[in-house]
Structure formats: C-alpha cells, structure tokens
Amino acid sequence: MTVKIKVYSDYVCLFCFLAEKPLEEAIKGKDVEVEWMPFELRPFPSETLRPEGDYLQRSWKQSVYPMAEQMEIPIILPNVSPQPHTHLAFEGFQYAKEKGKGNEYNDRILRAFFQEEQNIGEVDVLTKLAGEVGINEAEYRTALEKRTYREKHQKALEHAIKEVGITAVPTLIIGDNVVAGIRSKEVLEQLINEEINKQKLNLMTEGMACGIERC
C-alpha cells in the first residue's frame, strides 16, 4: 500500500525549503510517494520582495536563521534583488516531471536559491541546474524559451487554488489530512502511519464485504 503525499510549494518560499528535511526523514523506509505541486506566492507581474529590505532582514535574523540552525539546515538569505518570479522554474518543473526527474529537479532548484544564491528566474541558470540532475539541457532550454509548458503550469496553479483551495505554502496533503506549514518528523510520521492504518482497514472492510457477497 503506497501512501501518496502532495506538497504544494514555491521555489522562493524559505519554509518550503526547510520543510524538505523532516519530510524526507519521515518517509524513510516507508512505501510513500511524494509529488511536489506548484504554487506561486507572487505571480508575475506582481512585485516581489527585496532581500535588502527591512522586512526580510529582520524576519531572517529573528526567526529564519535560528529555526534553520535548530533544524541543522544550512540556509542563506539569497542576495538576488528583487526575488525572482518562479513561473519559468515551474514550467521547467513540468518538463522535468515528464522525464521522471520532478523531485530531483525540485530539490535542486530550492538548494540553488537558498544555499547558493543563484538567480532561479534566469533561463541560463535554470538550464544549468536542470542539466545537473540529468535533464537534457538543449531540450529543456527550448521548452522554456518556447514556453511549451506554460499552459500546463497554469492549469496546475488553477487546480491548486480553485479545486484544492491552497492559500499558503508549504501545504502537505496526506490522505484526508491537509497540513500547512513546517511539521516535525514525528508529526509527519504519525500522519503517514494513520493513513497506512486507514488503508489497511479499508482493505479488510472490502475483503469482508467481498466474502459476504461471494466476489
């Protein structure tokens, strides 16, 4: 029985980056399938944040760095001003997903921004990062330049907002449970185990019903 987890995130969301580690630890050794889903906090042409501004400087110093240190996750406030829009990175994600590299790509983009201060809004940067996870760089670049996956990305955003009701990231969907924000490994393990037990109970119930009806 495979537990499916959907994670809605944005590449410029620091909490999405920090949420990766406890999730990875929680699913270790379990039959779990994680699917990353796109959500843009500030879609183009909305104005994005500037790292030199008081808001980011203050919040990172007071909250982000202490949290990351406690979680033992290296992170830095990216000196990319203004912060990049993420629609191109997400269009690239749709390509990577088709090639079976979606999760690897997602992780690489987040690390590139929050640990290496790379501008993930630039096609050249995105193409290089895609190549680092085994994606054909020439095909990837063409897909971005031609905006091949623009419509697919937009449909994914509409699904997240209108059908799922996502309003903030990270948001994890584990079975019937919708969990917003960073959660500890222990909390995530509990939710995953609850879903596993629920699936087992459903199978038992179906089996009993089948026996009664002589399937």
For the stretch 52-93, pLDDT in tens is 999 999 999 999 999 999 999 999 999 999 999 999 999 999
Domains of the chain: 3-212 (3.40.30.10)
For the stretch 110-153, pLDDT in tens is 999 999 999 999 999 999 999 999 999 999 999 999 999 999 99
Q: How many CB atoms lie within 10 A of CB 186?
A: 11
For the stretch 90-120, pLDDT in tens is 999 999 999 999 999 999 999 999 999 999 9
Helix crossing, 87-98 with 123-132: angle to 10°? 30
Number of H helices, E strands in the chain: 9, 4
Q: Which amino acid is at 206?
A: E
Residue 9 burial class via C-beta count within 10 angstroms: exposed 0-12, middle 13-18, buried 19 and up: buried
Q: How many CB atoms lie within 10 A of CB 210?
A: 10
